[in-house]
Chains A and B, each alone.
Chain A
């Protein structure tokens, strides 16, 4: 894997190239038009650009794909955010009578940020991440993806790497886009287990009976926990870390374990002892719901959602294929089929893909045929762009995006057929 070092100072030089030759406009437009089913869906969508020197421009909107392209190539935004679909064109929001300009729809979104795990990571802090703590994101994606599909019945979930220290999820089903604020916050709360701020020590408390959603989530957490937490984060290694874990236990177990840990130093065995102490207590106690070991695992590994991001219809979220100005990495879709292999440090930077434009990849030729098929239907300019990104490491991520869009188009078609069948019946 060639790694082109990214230097933030070069960003102003790279962005024009990226927006002229690499940004996947046609897919992007295809996504946000949603098959053109509802009128003005793309036209009334808010985009906001962050320009050089943190200048923030809200309420941008575009009537066509080419208008979007032109504007982006003119402004060369450092960062692009996507907002809601409004009742009117956002660019004209000042001309609309006050009170009538309203956010109507938006994808249901989730934002998981590694900084929210600072109290349970020992490897890094704040904006830093490493391959050890990235497991937390893997766990988060597994848990939320399952729940959103199986519990809530959503199908079109786009998981995107934020470009730095987290992941975003865009739930794009029509039903999700139409959810009210109350429904969004209910979904987010259903999915939240870790509660409390800096003034709370014990952030997960389970009660009887354990809800199926929690059982399902525990299966995921238990799969990763020993390797990630006990080995990777050395949860039961240092004294400080042990004390922190033990503070989540009731006093009698705490003292019992302090005693045992004086002789037992092996972290994995310590964890086993903790579990058996908890199980023993559960077996002898008359009180129900003694799931201290599970609570510890959840407190350390369960996804931490920023509920406020999910709640608001008009909340902005960084767009897929936007560049992260600090790392230079592109916000790319994540392939859930190979989730455990996803490595944020392998995500291409803008400098890498711009460089690749000049030296064609071998892989590009294999897909030449496929490109030819598409070329028949597309404009010459478009064709060149397709050829351009196909040359770079961005190609496989655009392909993922294409697959996502195809799946959505298929189910839209299915819906239409179902409706016309219904009509026939009557």
Chain B
């Protein structure tokens, strides 16, 4: 399982991790792995099992003032029982205290990667399953225990655990704690990363909190000093009907029995957004069973502040050539391939778009292309989703301008108006205007989860945002076999939108197994092109019987065999890290 770890750090010469003190730049205030207290002239002695006992190498973080805010070192000091109990007395934590103990490099790596795997799993499961279902909880539980994270409320007596195999519950809690803080480092650096990290950590927290027994929930609130206002019995009986009608799980009897918390609606946005809470005068009335929402809100606020702080105290990371590759690769693992960097830029001609849209475009893009050709217009959401996709398949800025202009001026927009009102946003997509950020083509996740289409819109994911009946008709009109359509509709019903799309790929390309795990429209396009140009070996089901149904159903964590072979070869480019994390 850990066989791939050296590859992760293949850009880092492990021996270089130790250097004499004078080598350090005075302004390099934050160091992970670096021993700031290293004696001048000490030589490297690192090995894969950790530093030699004679070396006082330490790794940690210091803030600008030189204060150690997190520290790891080769020599692991035993944490005292008291500390252990204080930090890890509860199976869930709010991560208020950064770890102050010492930790080996091996542990550092292992923890970071395990947590990343866990967060990836959280993300994948979140797309494939409804988060409240038993299935979701079961799958997540499996990931959780396989990766060695804590999931038990009770801790065995410390002295009686000697006979147990594997890490103790305390050790797992420690891993949860430390790994969270390591990923904060890797994920604090840009807004996108922070958003991703916060989202996954929140989902993880929600799951873990919801799994707690009631008495442990209360204990958790108490331990972390979380207090919320409750409403009086009078107010409760006055609002009884409204309270009952605002939540699925509240009934006449439970209103009387449970506490209702009254918080500003801003603190319960998830419940407000989905209209699962009663609102009055700017306050949300939250039944006790939904208290996770408020706790989660606190969790997010704190984490988001902490990440901003960490980012501010980490300016040196960018200039530290030892650290940068590691943190960058930890943090890049979440996006997969970056489809904005195109190798085949300029290789698609405008005349090819029509035939390509039928052959190699995923359904969402095919739908947008058709709508554009028919209406000579697309609204903002459609222009973004389709425009960035086209950029991703290799259209140049000039081609894109020509493409959009020629279509729009067939409609109600004249060339002058186009140049004034629309050209800007197309140049924007290519990073030529405004903030000059080069926009990345949207991933499936983004298409499915953000900015759902409304009146007049054609964007979004057809498997997610179409009426099943219309989807069926559309697939029929594309001459898909009835059996295949049924399979797709079943996947849609189970909310496996990406798998449905993958099935569509298989059906339209006439193969049994796509052999990749679809997560990006541009990936769909590339795989299709590879297949159609004969550049990819087609894998028929018969050739790989080991790929079971289970693997497909969990959406994603599947890597084509060709890549799996690679794991034994050195990687010159660490961009492939993502594939490791998809592999289980």
| Residues of A near any B CB (own CB < 8 A) | 54-56, 98, 115-119, 150-154, 175, 179-180, 182-183, 185-187, 189-190, 194-202, 208-215, 304, 306-308
B248 touches A209 (CB 8 A): yes
If the complex has contacts A209-B248, A212-B245, A308-B380, are A197 and B273 also in contact, measured as CB distance less than 8 A? no
On whether the beta carbons of A186 and B245 are closer than 8 Å, the reply is: no
Near A by CB (< 8 A), chain B positions 409-466 give 417, 420-421, 435, 451-460, 462, 465-466
A198 touches B456 (CB 8 A): yes
Contact A202/B454 with A153-B283, A213-B275 known, Cβ cut-off 8 Å: no
A212 to B241, CA, bound (A): 9
Contact A200–B273 (Cβ < 8 Å): no
Beyond A54-B417, A54-B420, A187-B272, is A195–B280 a contact (Cβ under 8 Å)? Answer: no
Q: Indicate which residue in A150, A182, A199 contacts B280 across the interface (CB closer than 8 Å).
A: A150
Is B278 located at the chain interface by the 8 A CB criterion? yes
- B419 — nearest CB in chain A belongs to which residue? A54
Q: Which B residues lie within 8 Å of A152 (CB)?
A: 265, 279, 281-282
Contact A213 B279 (CB under 8 A): yes
Residues of A within 8 A of B244 (CB): 209
Taking a contact as CB atoms under 8 Å apart, the answer to whether B456 and A186 are in contact is no
Size of the B side of the interface (Cβ < 8 Å), in residues, is 46
A248 CA to B242 CA, complexed, in Å: 29
Given A189-B273, A209-B245, decide whether A119 and B455 contact each other with a Cβ distance below 8 A. yes
State A307–B454 Cα separation when bound (angstroms).
9
12 extra A-B contacts, CB within 8 A, seeds A54-B420, A179-B266, A190-B275:
A56-B420, A116-B455, A117-B455, A151-B280, A175-B282, A180-B266, A183-B269, A189-B274, A196-B465, A197-B453, A199-B458, A211-B245
CB distance from A124 to the nearest CB of B (A): 15
A235 to B459, CA, bound (A): 29
Q: Which residues of A contact B470 (CB under 8 A)?
A: 199-201
Bound-state Cα–Cα, A186 to B284, Å: 13
Q: Name 26 interchain pairs, CB-CB below 8 A, sorted by A.
A: A54-B421, A55-B420, A115-B456, A150-B280, A150-B281, A151-B279, A152-B282, A185-B273, A186-B269, A187-B272, A190-B273, A190-B275, A195-B452, A196-B465, A197-B456, A197-B460, A197-B465, A198-B458, A199-B458, A200-B470, A209-B244, A209-B246, A212-B241, A304-B455, A307-B454, A308-B380
* Complex Cα spacing A150 to B283, Å: 10
The answer, yes or no, to whether B367 is at the interface (CB within 8 Å) is: yes
Residue of B nearest to A208 (CB): B248
Q: Which residues from chain A contact B458 at a C-beta distance below 8 Å?
A: 197-199
Contact (Cβ within 8 A) A198 B457: yes
A-B pairs, top 8 by smallest CB distance, nearest first, are A153-B282, A197-B453, A197-B457, A199-B466, A153-B281, A186-B273, A186-B269, A151-B279
Contacting pair B454 A186 (CB below 8 A):
no
* Minimal beta-carbon separation of A393 from chain B (angstroms): 32
- CB neighbours of A179 from chain B (8 A): 266
Residues of the A chain whose Cβ atoms lie less than 8 Å from the Cβ of B572: none
CB A53 to nearest CB in B, in angstroms, measures: 8
Task: Mark out the residues of chain B between 226 and 281 whose CB falls within 8 Å of any chain A CB in the assembled complex.
Answer: 241-242, 244-248, 265-266, 269-270, 272-275, 278-281
A196 and B454 within 8 A (CB): yes
Of the residues A116, A202, A306, contact of B467 by C-beta under 8 Å: A202
Give CA–CA (A182, B269) in the complex, Å.
Answer: 8
B456: A residues at CB distance < 8 A = 115-116, 118, 197-198
Does B351 belong to the interface (CB within 8 Å)?
no
Q: Please tell me if B183 contacts chain A, counting CB pairs below 8 Å.
A: no
Q: Which of B246, B266, B282, B421 contacts A211 (CB 8 A)?
A: B246
- State the CA gap A25–B371 with chains docked (Å): 45
Cα–Cα, bound, A211→B241 (Å): 10
A187 neighbours in B (Cβ, 8 Å):
272
Tell me, in angstroms, the Cα distance from A24 to B223 when the chains sit together.
57
> In the complex the two chains form, what is the Cα distance from A153 to B457 in whole Å?
32
Contact B245 A215 (CB under 8 A): yes
Q: CB-CB < 8 A to B371: which residues of A?
A: 198
B272 near A186 (CB under 8 angstroms)?
Answer: yes
Chain B residue with Cβ nearest A56: B420
* Contact yes or no, A304 B454, CB < 8 A: yes
| Residues of the B chain whose Cβ atoms lie less than 8 Å from the Cβ of A189 | 273-274
Given known A-B contacts A211-B246, A212-B242, A307-B454, A200 and B465 have beta carbons under 8 A apart? yes
Q: Which of B272, B275, B371 has the most CB of A within 10 A?
A: B275
* B469 close to chain A: CB less than 8 A: yes
The answer on a CB contact under 8 Å between B454 and A197 is: yes
Smallest Cβ-Cβ distance to A193: which chain B residue: B275
In angstroms, Cα B435 to Cα A56, docked, is: 18
Interfacial chain B residues near A202, Cβ < 8 Å: 467
The answer to whether B460 and A201 have CB atoms under 8 Å apart is no
Shortest Cβ distance from residue A203 to the other chain B in the assembled complex, whole angstroms: 8
Residue interface mask B353-388, A partner, CB < 8 A = 1 = 000000000000001000100000000110000000
The chain A residue sitting closest to B281, CB to CB, is A153
Check A195–B454 contact: CB distance below 8 A: yes
Q: How far is the CB of A178 from chain B (nearest CB, A)?
A: 9
Chain B residues 290 to 314 lying within 8 A of chain A, measured CB to CB, are none
B466 interface neighbour in A154, A200, A212, Cβ under 8 Å: A200
Residue in B247, B417, B455 whose CB lies within 8 Å of A118? B455
CB distance from B345 to the nearest CB of A (A): 27
Residues in A neighbouring B275, C-beta threshold 8 A = 190, 211, 213-214
| Chain B, Cβ-Cβ closest to A148 | B282
Q: For A201, what are the chain B residues with a Cβ–Cβ distance below 8 Å?
A: 467, 469-470
What separation, in Å, do the CA atoms of A198 and B453 have in the docked complex?
8
Q: A210 near B421 (CB under 8 angstroms)?
A: no
Residue ID in chain A nearest B379 by CB atoms? A197
B459 touches A197 (CB 8 A): yes
Contact with A along B530-565 (1 / 0, CB 8 A): 000000000000000000000000000000000000
The docked-state distance in angstroms from the alpha carbon of A150 to that of B279 is: 8
Which residues of the partner chain A approach B241 to less than 8 Å between Cβ atoms? 212
Tell me the complex Cα distance, A152–B273, Å. Answer: 12
Residues of B contacting A183 in the complex (Cβ-Cβ under 8 angstroms): 265-266, 269
Residues from chain B with Cβ under 8 Å of A190 in the complex: 272-273, 275, 279
In whole angstroms, what is the CA distance A215 to B246 when docked? 11
Smallest CB-CB separation from A113: which chain B residue?
B455
State the CA gap A136–B265 with chains docked (Å).
28
A209→B277 CA distance, assembly (Å) = 11
